[in-house]
Copies of this chain bind each other. A is one copy, B any other.
Amino acid sequence: MRIAIDAMGGDKAPGEIISGALESIELLEENDEIILLGPKEIVESRVPSKFRKGKVTIVDAPEVIGMDESPVDSLRKKRNSSIAIMAKMAKEGQADAVISAGNTGACVVAFQMGMRNLAGVNRPGIAVVFPTFEGPVTICDVGANIACKPINLYQYAVMAKMYSKNVLGIENPRVGIMSIGQEEAKGDETVKKARELMKADTRLNFIGNIEGKDIFKGVCDVAVCDGFVGNVILKLTEGVVDGLFKAIKHELMQEKLLLVMKFKPVMMRIYKKYDYNEYGGAPLLGINGTALICHGASESRTIKNAVLTAKAYHTKKINDKIVEYLSNTSVRTVNEQGS
């Protein structure tokens, strides 16, 4: 399997990205290969020659798309950027998976255009795994599609369920739809219609509406929402956690130094257990390929874990399972009309 990694994507690129890519090699199999994309001199200078014997290939991508650039404009102008080239490689069968911690919007556009949608899928969605005290919860979409139709939400449910089951190993993932109350009548028209589609699919293990707080309560394994709401959820959670840790630190500082020091390892354990870095990247579900988009603040272990996730996604044939599921669903007719 050939895994292409954007060496220039993310706030800590290229250092942490390349480190993570190299660390992942020992976890891969004999026939696996890492492809690093970026300006040739920069990448080469950071890859020791011992790695360049068949395990790591460097592909020159002299242009870099900034984190805040307009996705469509930047892709049009920078055809030699790592994101554009890796999408092209996937399209032409030169890469089996792509990983980037760069500009999310540019990744979504490039990967979707390069690899196209899976049969039966109308719009791809980004799924993020939230590590919670009750177990991992997969949330889809978190930003690929901010104008969702009911059929998109239904398909996100199916795709995230396949991911949760086959990559995270959850037996029969429970699926909820994000709304503003548990009662059936709650939610806007799109949510209400999507709920009808999900209810009609008896294989889905659909539990109905969920609320914001339910994500952390262990009531569901998959939470479906539009990309606007999902993006707010993703960033808000980060903000609440950071804010709370800051508050705890501040309060501890009022106490004896000894208490601060004793509490530190506890904090570190929590950080590690509930850290998104451990889940290594968010799959772009619904495209005809394997693509992981990583957090802008990704560290080497995020990238290492993303490589493992890409490997699992590819090996377990998640895309085949999605296509098969959607080709057998009774909701399929709506698919053709409703999007």
Chain A residues engaging chain B, CB cutoff 8 angstroms: 68, 70, 132-133, 143, 146-147, 178, 180, 182-183, 185, 187-188, 211-217, 225, 227-229, 231-244, 246-248, 250-252, 255, 259, 262-263, 266, 269-270, 273-274
Contact = CB atoms under 8 A, between A and B. Distances in A.
How many copies of the chain does the oligomer comprise? Answer: 2
A319 to B, nearest CB: 26
A233 B233 CA distance: 7
A266 B248 contact: yes
Contact of A247 (B243, B262, B270): B270
Given A178-B232, A247-B133, A273-B247, A238 B212 contact: yes
Say what secondary structure dominates the interface of chain A.
helix
Nearest to A178: B232
Contact of A250 (B133, B250, B251, B262): B133
24 contacts: A70-B183, A70-B185, A132-B243, A133-B246, A143-B180, A146-B187, A180-B231, A180-B235, A211-B232, A212-B233, A213-B235, A214-B235, A215-B239, A216-B239, A216-B242, A217-B243, A229-B232, A236-B237, A236-B240, A240-B240, A247-B270, A252-B266, A255-B266, A259-B259
A146 B180 contact: yes
Given A227-B180, A232-B229, A247-B133, A239 B214 contact: yes
A239 B251 contact: no
Contacts of A214: 235, 239
Contact of A212 (B225, B227, B239, B269): B239
A165 to B, nearest CB: 23
